[in-house]
Amino acid sequence: MKTLSLNDSPVSFVSFFIASAVLLFFMHFVLNLSIGMKGIFVLLFIGVSFFSVLNFYLSYSILLFLLFLPHFYAVHQVIAFSYILLLSFLVNFRGDFLKELKNPVLTALLLYILLMLPSLVTTPKKLLSIRDMSNIIALLLMFCITLISFKDYKKIISVFYFFIFAIFMHTLWVIYLGITTGERVFGILWVYYIDFAGLGALISIILFFYSKGISKVIFGISSVAITYGLILTQTRNAWLSFAVAFGSLLIFLIIKGEKFKIKRFATVITLLVMIGIIGGAMILRNEATSNIGDRLDEQSESVQIDEQDPTALNNSLITRILIWHTSYKAFLQKPVFGIGAYSFRFISELYYEIPKPFYEEFVKERTPHVTYLQVLTETGIVGLVAFLIFIIAIFKQIIQTLSRPNKTKQEIKLSLLICWSLIYIIFSMLMTESWLYGQYAVWTGILLGLLISNYKTLTSKTLVR
């Protein structure tokens, strides 16, 4: 495989961020104007996007930037841009792609997508379902494109550095809002900040473990700041996902510390210091602590339900149960192939049995909020089995990657970053469906591509440093 010579010159990091800042300002400015101006902006953005096709890594950089923009349209703009990136990839790369793409994780993903298709036969909202299936196709595209195009250590680690930089910048705004308002806050990204913050904290901690000097200080600060930002979102699901991923990472490093070139004592000390710093920050932020305590105590509160006033119900667990109940009823109607891929939020009114006021308030136009339940409901038992095969294939690849002997410190760091990011995502799927949509789906595809690319590099020992 080879690329065109145009890609031999790296894009200037400073120039890219200056251009990104100007583009972000322009987007916010134009989106507050008339519909006509929005149309002009869309045409301009498409023109710039297609111009970037000539340089693949410029196109990829733009896509990474788009990951951290808010959701402007029904389908996130990064989903649309992934198709432009595909065009850029085809223009700039030559080689035997089929041979390079051969791996069990991709095979399992293709099987899942194939077995999603029968579910579309019976859904009454076929066009909307097909439109939203662009999310899983974008995940597939990013998986394949990243696998082939990212084999250089510096390029791969720069993706994680960019992720941390972007989330840290969003976190500063979240912390400011949390301190000044005392409310539950999400920042510019809204709910899409939550699990990105959980991942960002985890990635920062891993980079902290394997850094020295000023880099260790920087990643220490980002670890604490992003974790604090996550706490301010007051989202129990994300707290649990982060706790499980972080806890399993610490246990793994304590057990396998010597093999992974890290001191067990340093791991324990890091844990205690982080707990102390975050705990101290929470004590200083009394108002936020009070609100967070309320969120923690919510499940133990008694709940009174008034059919005539559903807005009085403010227990998030109960509202989730209402959605799950409707999702389960939909599954019972079509258990084999499901009600239609990405269809539940469009056709849930056909299946609800709860009082209508509660359906209107808490279920209508919402997803099941659990990835595995959504897959079961929308693609049936057949789809869920295929999806679990896909998840098992990822776990197997993670185990094989971590089991490779004689890795350098760089290879260890990269393997932990990729593998534990995916462990976080897989566990998080028990409590959110977001990884099937928008920038979350694209980031998952990127991680899968890096997982396979990294494993192939470990087995061949051709990683460029």
- Residue count (the chain): 465
For tokens 């394949």, what's the residue? 144
Q: In DSSP terms, which residues pair with 94 in a beta bridge?
A: 2
Per DSSP (E only), the strands in 117-176 are none
Evaluate whether 215 touches 267 at the Cβ level (below 8 Å): no
Backbone angles phi, psi at 372, to 5 degrees: -65, -35
Q: How far apart are CA 263 and CA 111, in angstroms?
A: 42
Q: How far apart are CA 277 and CA 275, in angstroms?
A: 6
**Each residue's pLDDT tens digit, 171-219:** 999 999 988 888 888 888 888 899 999 999 999 999 998 888 899 889 9
Give the mean pLDDT of the chain: 82
Backbone angles phi, psi at 329, to 5 degrees: -65, -35
Strongest mean pLDDT among 44-53, 81-90, 297-306, 390-399: 390-399
Residue 429 sits at the vertex; the CA angle it makes with 327 and 342, to the nearest 5 degrees, is 45
Q: How far apart are CA 298 and CA 234, in angstroms?
A: 12
Least confident of 9-13, 33-37, 207-211, 385-389: 9-13
Query: Is residue 43 predicted with pLDDT exceeding 70?
Result: no
Which pLDDT score, from 0 to 100, does residue 404 have?
84
Encoded tokens for 6: 């145009």
Report the number of distinct structural domains present in the chain.
1
Which pLDDT score, from 0 to 100, does residue 132 have?
92
Query: Is residue 33 predicted with pLDDT exceeding 70?
Result: no
The reply to whether 223 falls in a domain is: no
The reply to whether 53 falls in a domain is: yes
Q: How far apart are CA 287 and CA 292, in angstroms?
A: 9
Question: Which of 63, 113, 118 is closest to 88 using CA atoms?
Answer: 63
Evaluate whether 155 touches 450 at the Cβ level (below 8 Å): no
Which pLDDT score, from 0 to 100, does residue 291 have?
56
pTM score of the predicted model: 0.85
Instruction: Tell me the three state secondary structure of residue 198.
Output: helix
Which pLDDT score, from 0 to 100, does residue 160 have?
96
The reply to whether 168 falls in a domain is: no
What confidence category does residue 13 fall into, taking pLDDT thresholds of 50, 70 and 90?
very low
Burial of 361 by CB count in 10 Å (0-12 exposed, 13-18 middle, 19+ buried)?
middle
The reply to whether 436 falls in a domain is: no
Please give the C-alpha separations between residue 260 and each of 71, 99, 209, 404, 462, in angstroms, as whole numbers.
39, 31, 11, 11, 20
| Chain centroid to CA 275 | 25
Least confident of 1-5, 48-52, 292-296: 1-5
Query: Is residue 314 predicted with pLDDT exceeding 90?
Result: no
Which pLDDT score, from 0 to 100, does residue 162 have?
95
Say which DSSP state 360 is in: I
Q: How far apart are CA 154 and CA 465, in angstroms?
A: 7
Per the structure, the complete domain to which residue 83 belongs is given by: 1-94
Encoded tokens for 91: 């223009």
Instruction: Tell me the three state secondary structure of residue 95.
Output: coil
**Each residue's pLDDT tens digit, 352-371:** 888 888 888 888 888 898 99
Instruction: Tell me the three state secondary structure of residue 338.
Output: coil
Please give the C-alpha separations between residue 286 and each of 176, 182, 185, 376, in angstroms, as whole numbers.
15, 9, 16, 42
Query: Is residue 7 predicted with pLDDT exceeding 50?
Result: no
The reply to whether 79 falls in a domain is: yes
Evaluate whether 185 touches 233 at the Cβ level (below 8 Å): yes
364-397 as b/e: b if 16+ CB within 10 A: eebbbbbbebbbbbbbbebbbbbbebbbebbeeb
**Each residue's pLDDT tens digit, 409-464:** 888 999 999 999 999 999 999 989 899 998 999 999 999 999 999 999 888 864 44
Evaluate whether 157 touches 415 at the Cβ level (below 8 Å): no
Alpha helices, DSSP H, located in 34-118: 35-51, 56-66, 77-92, 97-101, 104-116
Least confident of 38-52, 88-102, 108-122, 222-236: 38-52
**Each residue's pLDDT tens digit, 96-116:** 788 889 999 999 999 999 999
Evaluate whether 327 touches 374 at the Cβ level (below 8 Å): yes
Backbone angles phi, psi at 67, to 5 degrees: -55, -30
What confidence category does residue 8 fall into, taking pLDDT thresholds of 50, 70 and 90?
very low
Instruction: Tell me the three state secondary structure of residue 93.
Output: strand
Specify the higher pLDDT residue, 465 or 275.
275
Which pLDDT score, from 0 to 100, does residue 53 have?
79
Specify the higher pLDDT residue, 445 or 72.
445
Query: Is residue 335 predicted with pLDDT exceeding 60?
Result: yes
Backbone angles phi, psi at 308, to 5 degrees: -85, -15
The reply to whether 141 falls in a domain is: no
Query: Is residue 308 predicted with pLDDT exceeding 70?
Result: no
What confidence category does residue 285 fall into, taking pLDDT thresholds of 50, 70 and 90?
low
The reply to whether 5 falls in a domain is: yes
The reply to whether 347 falls in a domain is: no
Encoded tokens for 260: 């992974």
